[in-house]
Structure 1
Amino acid sequence: MIIITGATGALNGATADHLLQHLSPSELVVVTRDVSRAARFAALGVEVRQGDYADPGSLPAAYDGADQLLLVSSSDPAGDHVALHRNAIEAAASVGVGRILYTSHQGAAPDNPFLPGATHFATEQLLADCGVAWTSLRNGFYAHSLQWLAGPWRETGVIAVPGDGPVSWTAREDAAEAAAAILLSDGAHDGAVTLTAPAAPTFAELADTASEVSGRTVTCRVLGEDEWLAAQAEAGVPEQMAGFVLGFHRAARAGFFAGTDPLLGELLGRAPRTARDALAAPA
């Protein structure tokens, strides 16, 4: 049996959909904080269980019977993500789950300036120490994020960033499909695996691509951090969010998202989507 958390979200929901193309509904269970949000899975005959990382007592029954358990990383804006992940991992170990898979991120490292990088690294350490077979899916930076990280370039003709660096922009849809393929491989991928698009363009290169897909000249302007933060404040971006995004740019500049790996394409059996596809998509 495969049990999936976060299936009401875009990433693991798509993974569940891909699995249902190969498995019967009786072979899949989805776990969610609010079971009413998983009605579409229940209508297909998939068992829906209630479970919440913030309520450790709810988790053992939610994960019971799993040969494989896919844990989505927490997006709780007020939560201690590592503590929440610890709750899930400990509950999985306590009921004898066969393998834990976790949606991590490329650049998982304790010194990553992008805050989720340290969270993912700490979670991978918990997995390594939990006594259960595990796989960490280090997905490349999701390409749909370009819709806001690149700013309003369609209107201004400018992509303004506080420093530039290569990023292996990876389609979330491809990462979801690859996760399903790894689950169906039943343990063929152990430990941390990297799932990225085949190229890691800089924002300067993305500006050239944006020019091609839009038919207008788009340039990349590299600002100082203080100048960029001031522009964000003027645009009404909350200070906390601006700081979070600045961490991403610092990490990109330091090369944390520069690596690429052919595994994603091998799992998909086709070329992964590209940053060009993301820029060409409707805003």
Structure 2
Amino acid sequence: MKIAVTSASGHLGSEIVKALLKATKKEQVIAIARTPEKAKHLGVEVRNGDYNNREDFNTALKGIDIVLLVSGMDDPQKRIQQHRNVIEAAKQNGVQKIVYTSIIGAEENNAFSPVVQSNRQTEEDIRNSGLQWVIGRNGIYIEPDLEYIDTYIKEDGIRNSADQGKCNYTSREELGYAYSKMLLEEKHNGNIYNLVGEAISQKELATYINQVYNTNLIYNSVSVETYKADRIAELGEFLGTIIAGIYEGIKNGANDVPSDYEKAAGRVHKSALKLIETYYLNHVKN
């Protein structure tokens, strides 16, 4: 059995490959990347695959039994066709099963909703593909907050529009572990899982970071409009609008959902505090 992981040079794709390597033989794992050199460090066979190029995937998926499709990062409307390129090539090559990394979130009413809608369309395309399938809806990664910590310290705190809203944070490592199980175990076929941890507020997030990093961050809530203007000024229109939409979703409860992580992974999700401690040990202390 051969398993291919798309976008394997990215943060999530590489974590899924690493988790698979702990669970199965390396000869069974194929990495697919738009720039293959960027995935060489994973130590597995790497094949070329650009989501915009159907022909790439006609070649990349030859001899593959199961494909892990990592959701693309392009404009929402472009993603739907990009993902279809992989789905159609999978059908053409006799792939038996697709596992898709989707996302939780509100399907309407905020600036992140178009991204959620495009993911839901791909979910539908996969369910209608005639192949076996499993869909994971990922929570918000905790890593970007921890990568941003120097800015938080400089600004004396965490500042966004989530207000009292709770967010089920996860980590790429936790997701990698769950997806390796979803790929290798047939009992997951036909399921949609919310891959999230415990729901915490931004105030709790600041408290946990303070515990681990010995900082004195406080949480400052600002209006949705103020935060959106702030993010656009720093990140540009496209990304700034999406990030603002994520925090508006958190404020409105879209990121406080029941977790299916234990069903998918066979163990409970690490606590938010444990996620932060793990990141600190792996990226800061070493």
Fold shared per TM-score above 0.5: yes
Cα deviation code 1:186-233 (max 9, x no counterpart): 353423111111x11111322333444455543322222333345446
The one-letter code sitting in structure 2 at the alignment partner of 1:183 is: L
Identity of aligned residues (%): 24
The one-letter code sitting in structure 2 at the alignment partner of 1:207 is: A
CA distance in 2, matches of 1:21, 1:226: 45
Cα deviation code 1:33-80 (max 9, x no counterpart): 233333334xx4x43322222111221221122221111111246981
After superposition, the Cα gap between the structure-2 partners of 1:216 and 1:61, relative to the gap in structure 1 and judged at 3 Å, is closer
Q: 2:94 aligns with which of 96, 100, 105?
A: 96
Q: Contact (CA 8 Å) 1:151, 1:159: kept in 2 or not?
A: no
Higher fraction of helix:
2
Name the counterpart of 1:87.
Answer: 85
Name the counterpart of 1:126.
Answer: 125
After superposition, the Cα gap between the structure-2 partners of 1:21 and 1:228, relative to the gap in structure 1 and judged at 3 Å, is closer
Cα deviation code 1:96-153 (max 9, x no counterpart): 2111011111227356641421221111011111111111111111111223678833
Q: Contact (CA 8 Å) 1:50, 1:62: kept in 2 or not?
A: yes
Structure 1: 5+ residue stretches without partners? none
1:2 partnered with 2:36: no
Cα deviation code 1:260-281 (max 9, x no counterpart): 3152487264652525643883
Stretch deviating more after TM superposition (158-167 or 225-234): 225-234
Name the counterpart of 1:14.
Answer: 15
CA distance in 2, matches of 1:50, 1:113: 33
What does 1:1-283 align with in structure 2 at a 5 Å threshold? Answer: 1-41=2-42, 44=43, 46-76=44-74, 80-107=78-105, 109=107, 113-114=111-112, 115-147=114-146, 152-164=151-163, 165-197=165-197, 199-215=198-214, 217-232=216-231, 236-264=234-262, 267=265, 269=267, 271-274=269-272, 277-278=275-276, 281=280, 282=284
CA distance in 1, matches of 2:251, 2:172: 22
Stretch deviating more after TM superposition (166-175 or 221-230): 221-230
Secondary structure, counterpart of 1:38 in structure 2 = helix
After superposition, the Cα gap between the structure-2 partners of 1:190 and 1:271, relative to the gap in structure 1 and judged at 3 Å, is same
TM-score, reference length from structure 1: 0.85
Secondary structure, counterpart of 1:75 in structure 2 = coil
Q: Contact (CA 8 Å) 1:15, 1:180: kept in 2 or not?
A: yes
TM-score, reference length from structure 2: 0.84
Q: Contact (CA 8 Å) 1:108, 1:120: kept in 2 or not?
A: no
Aligned length: 278
Q: Contact (CA 8 Å) 2:159, 2:222: kept in 1 or not?
A: yes
The one-letter code sitting in structure 1 at the alignment partner of 2:222 is: L
The one-letter code sitting in structure 2 at the alignment partner of 1:116 is: V
CA distance in 1, matches of 2:21, 2:213: 37
RMSD: 2.9
Secondary structure, counterpart of 2:85 in structure 1 = helix
After superposition, the Cα gap between the structure-2 partners of 1:151 and 1:251, relative to the gap in structure 1 and judged at 3 Å, is farther
After superposition, the Cα gap between the structure-2 partners of 1:207 and 1:56, relative to the gap in structure 1 and judged at 3 Å, is same
Secondary structure, counterpart of 2:98 in structure 1 = strand
CA distance in 2, matches of 1:231, 1:175: 30
Q: Contact (CA 8 Å) 1:171, 1:273: kept in 2 or not?
A: no
CA distance in 1, matches of 2:45, 2:274: 38
CA distance in 2, matches of 1:106, 1:204: 21
CA distance in 2, matches of 1:52, 1:102: 17
Cα deviation code 1:215-255 (max 9, x no counterpart): 55433222223333454466x44343322211111111221
Q: Contact (CA 8 Å) 1:177, 1:268: kept in 2 or not?
A: no
